[in-house]
Copies of this chain bind each other. A is one copy, B any other.
Amino acid sequence: MKKAQIISIGNELLIGDTINTNASWLGGLLTEQGFYVEQVFTIPDDYDIIYKKVKKSLQQSELTVVTGGLGPTHDDITKKVLVDLFDSKLIENREVLDFIKMIFERRGFTFSRVNAAQAQVPENCEVLFNNKGTAPGMWFEKNGNSLIVLPGVPNEMKFLMEKRALPKIHELFPDREVWATRYFKTAGVPESTLSEQIGDLDEFVNNGVGVAYLPGPAGVTIRISANADTLQLAEGKLTKLKDLLYEKAGDVIFGEGKNLKLEEVAGKILTDNELTIATAESCTGGLLSSKITDIPGSSAYMKGGVVAYGNEVKISALNVLENDLNKGGAVSKNVALQMAKGVAEKMKTDIGVSATGIAGPGGGTDEKPVGTVWMGFWIKGDHFALKAVLSNDRLLNKERTVMIILETVRRRLQGVNELPYQLKPHSA
């Protein structure tokens, strides 16, 4: 199996200012690509350490990926190392320079010498053109081993890796033993419940199929993987387990794909059913509509929303009855129901959803503790509310509420009876 090593450069990573998410993302990608990711080295912006580490890794492993140390204020330590390591010299890359100038023009920034320096690259590297930023990626070869150098800004690093480096990797390492990996995304079911529902998988694990439950704030992901000489053979090893997962937990699996998002799936279902949606948010403060509109093309089904933080807005913008606000309080079944129906009527949509709750950390009472959330649903006339009591973490409560609402919409539209966390609907 081809060996890969990752070198993350940057003092900020060592002193705890930045969490090294790049290494984790690269590790996942290289593993899928059939490399054995042996080590990750996180090192400071220090010439000697960078030089020693890159040189050694280049000798030890078929593929080395270096990230960081290329920003305009990193005084080019990394580039100096590369120049010395490959006894090369820096030359100006015209294409990169023009692109950087264009970016600065477009944004109306003043172009400066430090920016021009970013267009300087070692003569003997292949430039990986960076459409997302000013620091280009670089590809080097030495004794049949490869070295990829990328900027540390995550979205630029990911772009360069996927769009520029991967094609070269496929071409240079054709004989990799490939991994087939599948991610099954679930929402609204705890890890323990899910694993019990699916049951014992030793039969598969003993036959070399990897299984992992990966819990996250937005739900649990089931990851299964197997390797073989060809992707087809590896995929074949997963078929039986895949069928089992759908048989046992099909209702709570909203889709497949490591980065698949619930809002993406919900959006597709709305599109397929030619349905429109609007949101009425209090405690989630706009996070729900923001997630829905994270998806390109969401304007096809998302008409809009109201963030009704103050009670006056609940009344004026959503037709919530003042009487109900005074009687049951803003965090109540009736207010949630009226917000959902109100926004659907105002914005003339098929579906209206709402959230009103006590996000925390303060504001809780004995009868309505912090984390109490009422969610309202108006789905083509089907009118009901759900109550959940979540944590005392404000941001987590916002995220969980959004997830429950989206998953409830998905399950209702796909005819799944059980609701997230087995919540019971309160009808109007």
Contacts and interface: CB of A to CB of B under 8 A. Distances in A.
Interface in A169-217: 190-193, 195-196, 212-215
Contacts of A214: 12, 17-18
B39 A43 contact: yes
Most interface-central of A23, A106, A298, A309 (chain B CB within 10 A): A309
B13 A27 contact: yes
Contact of A305 (B16, B37, B71, B307): B307
Most interface-central of A49, A131, A281 (chain B CB within 10 A): A281
Please provide the 10 A-B residue pairs with the shortest distance between their CB atoms, ordered closest to farther: A16-B28, A285-B293, A286-B286, A286-B289, A40-B42, A304-B313, A305-B307, A286-B290, A16-B27, A287-B290
Contacts of A17: 28, 212, 214, 221, 223, 258
Interface stretch (A87-95, A121-129, A387-395, A410-418): A387-395
A44 B49 contact: no
Given A290-B290, A307-B307, A13 B40 contact: yes
A158 to B, nearest CB: 10
A396 interface: yes
Chain A's interface: helix, strand, loop or mixed, by majority? mixed
B304 A306 contact: yes
A121 to B, nearest CB: 18
Given A72-B191, A296-B361, A310-B347, 6 more contacts: A39-B43, A279-B307, A286-B289, A286-B293, A294-B395, A305-B309
Copies in the complex: 2
A240 B27 CA distance: 43
A212 B17 CA distance: 9
A49 to B, nearest CB: 7
Interface in A134-160: 153, 155
15 contacts: A13-B27, A15-B31, A20-B24, A38-B44, A38-B49, A39-B41, A40-B42, A109-B190, A109-B421, A132-B391, A284-B290, A286-B293, A299-B309, A302-B310, A316-B346
Contacts of A114: 192, 195-196
A167 interface: no
Nearest to A402: B290
Nearest to A37: B14
Most interface-central of A223, A285, A292 (chain B CB within 10 A): A285
Interface of A: 11-21, 23-29, 31, 37-44, 49, 71-73, 106-110, 112, 114-115, 131-132, 153, 155, 190-193, 195-196, 212-215, 221, 223, 258, 279, 281, 284-290, 292-294, 296-299, 302-310, 312-313, 316-317, 346-348, 359-362, 369, 388-396, 398, 421-423
